[in-house]
Amino acid sequence: MEIELGKGKKVRRAYGFDEIALVQSIRTIDPEDVDTSTEIGGIKITAPIIASAMDSVVDPTTAALMSQYGGLGVINLQGIQTRYEDADAILDKIAAASREEYVQLMQKIYTEAVKPELLEKRIKQIKAKKGIAAISVTPQSAEEFGPIVEKAGADMIVIQATVVSTVHKSKNFKSLNLVKFCKSMKIPVVVGNCVTYDVAISLMETGVAAILVGIGPGAACTSRGVLGIGVPMATSIVDCAAARDAHFKKSGKYVSVIADGGMVVSGDICKAIACGADAVMIGSPLAKAKEAPGRGFHWGMATPNATLPRGTRIKVGTIGTLKEILLGPAKFDDGSQNFVGAIKTSMGTLGAETIKEMQKVEIVIAPSLLTEGKVFQKAQQLGMYK
């Protein structure tokens, strides 16, 4: 329903995760009997959770661990891991930097050139640990690095930027032809980010295996403040899932929708799936893992931009191992651990046996969901209010 923002300007209401709630059905299922598996470009994962391609979240070790625990980790192939042989020394510098100096330090660190030999090395390190090698590059570098990573044994390539479109105009750079690129690659291509039905449809028509949905909701991202761009996640996922279903009906090809960012606790992940996501991509919740390369810190991919940084370094701390965060057992009561267990329990409670059934559960607008009856938690900073 359109609302008049002012004379001659119509707008519509959009919703975030905190404004919606999932509604029980007439049946329930034992959580151990639900199936949380999903498929992205022919790659099946038993947990619908993907670790963001951020230097504070994924390195070869955590990428392999994500695979071991049923998910998927995407490594940033234009980040610290491919610019420096000794990435750990650089990560130590970032963790030790003061609040006043870190932006300029980041900009300096990321001026080091990406080394093609490190692209191959990092992929082989993941494969040596029997992990799924999913890598991320920017649209400007896809044609250069795509053949290299495919030859090195990568299983998936993610082309990622703040916003990706199929109609790009530039006097300085040649636009990436997604149709041609997808046809040339023998591995699935994932592309993002987008937040609207029309853009999602246009991206799906290029032959990609999946799209990333979300602009600016990440904990360390400042794009919404710097650029003023974004659509709250619940609405953007629903719109892009509708595009997926329409595209499938027309073409017979299923393009997965991956909700990217804005999910802090397990309930957010459950809501994202209910809105239509086939999987979620998260960063800050996994940056809290003992094995995460960020050393208790987390930063956005656009933080080191040389002219207009659109990310910040936040302190997230360390709350447990990656296994505890993904599979439990949870040591905290705030939804920050045992994500897969929470997804299973939510699905069972809602009577959804599969991810596809979870996408069909009833949703209501519920702005009081997180505050109703929680006065003591809020006052004492417990549970949901830690």
Catalytic residues: 221, 295
To the nearest 10°, report the CA torsion of 330, 46, 273, 132.
100
Q: Is the peptide bond before 329 cis (omega within 30 degrees of 0)?
A: yes
Give the list of residues 6+ apart from residue 124 with CB closer than 8 angstroms, or none: 152, 153
Compute the distance between CA of residue 328 and CA of residue 386 in angstroms, rounded to an integer: 19
CB atoms within 10 A of CB 190: 24
What Å distances lie between residue 163 and 121, 143, 211, 302, CA to CA?
Answer: 29, 18, 12, 12
Give the list of residues 6+ apart from residue 274 with CB closer than 8 angstroms, or none: 22, 350, 358, 359, 361, 363
